[in-house]
Amino acid sequence: MGLKKAFKKLPASFYRLDALEVARALPGRILVTDRDGIRTSGRIVEVEAYTGVNDRAAHSFGGRRTPRTEVMYAAGGVAYVYLCYGIHHLFNVVTGPEDNPQAVLIRGIEPLEGITDMLLRTGKTKADSTLTRGPGNVSRALGLHTADTRTALDGDRMFIMDDGFRYADQLLGVSPRIGVDYAGEDAQLPYRFYIKGNPYVSGKPR
């Protein structure tokens, strides 16, 4: 691998912060997976925060604890991947201290390394903006599935880097989350953070 200096892997302590703080800090960072010698990475451009027991949209709302959601109660810094609609794998970062079940859903990245492998995994023939737009596509392109739940995010197989790049403050958009209408009033909470105008952000451009 190349120069290490400019690329700083985010430490486990970063993920112990609240989901909202982590979510605000993630756009612009680089998500990397290294599986079977295949390295793929992309710059995060869209995330959503799920703030735990008080958040109707979160799997852990009301302190619900099941075999599936158990990993959300771990200390921040591990992956939570689960299957949605029987088709899509959704990749989350568990955040907050132990027994505070929060998470951040990664919804969109801008591909950087391993684009050829992403095409193979997704079965696409050209690298257009649909390659890694939307949480289902992100997981597919990075080769993530439910078995990757509990993988440490400060290890070698999966991590997030800070390469010093920063989006301008005015490019960071905030909006309600997507697909959580069932959550009542909580569906309106401004917990989605995205880069305005970026083609890898799901939903309508603004």
Partner DNA sequence: GAGTAGATCCTCT
Partner DNA sequence: GAGGATCTACTCA
| Pairing state between β 172-175 and 158-162 | unpaired
Q: Which stretch binds DNA (CB under 7 A): 3-11, 63-71, 109-117, 192-200?
A: 63-71
> CB of residue 165 vs DNA: minimum separation in angstroms?
24
Stretch that binds DNA, among 24-32, 87-95, 159-167, 188-196 (CB under 7 A): 87-95
Under the binding rule (CB under 7 A), the answer on residue 202 touching DNA is: yes
Is 83 an interacting residue with respect to DNA (CB under 7 A)? yes
Half-sphere exposure of residue 107: CA atoms within 13 angstroms, side-chain side: 24
CA-closest candidate to residue 138, choices 84, 93, 88, 87: 88
User: For DNA, which residue of 58, 71, 79, 189 counts as binding (CB under 7 A)?
Assistant: 58
Residue closer to DNA, measured from CB, 34 or 46: 46
CB of 87 to DNA, least distance (A): 5
Note whether 8 and 162 are within 8 A (CB): yes
Query: Is 150 within 8 Å of 21 (Cβ atoms)?
Result: no
d(CA 83, CA 93): 15
Sign of CA dihedral 179, 183, 194, 142: negative
Asked if residue 144 binds DNA (CB under 7 A), the reply is no
Report the residue from 3, 4, 125, 182 that binds DNA according to the rule CB under 7 A: 182
Q: Does 198 bind DNA (CB under 7 A)?
A: no
Q: What residues does 141 pair with on adjacent strands?
A: none
68 near DNA (CB under 7 A): yes
171 is a site residue for DNA (CB under 7 A): no
Q: Which helix (H) or strand (E) holds 21?
A: helix 19-25
Alpha carbon distance 135, 87 (integer Å): 12
Q: List contacts with DNA (CB under 7 A).
A: 48, 50, 57-59, 64, 66-69, 72, 80, 82-88, 90, 92, 103, 105, 107, 130, 133-137, 146, 177-180, 182, 202
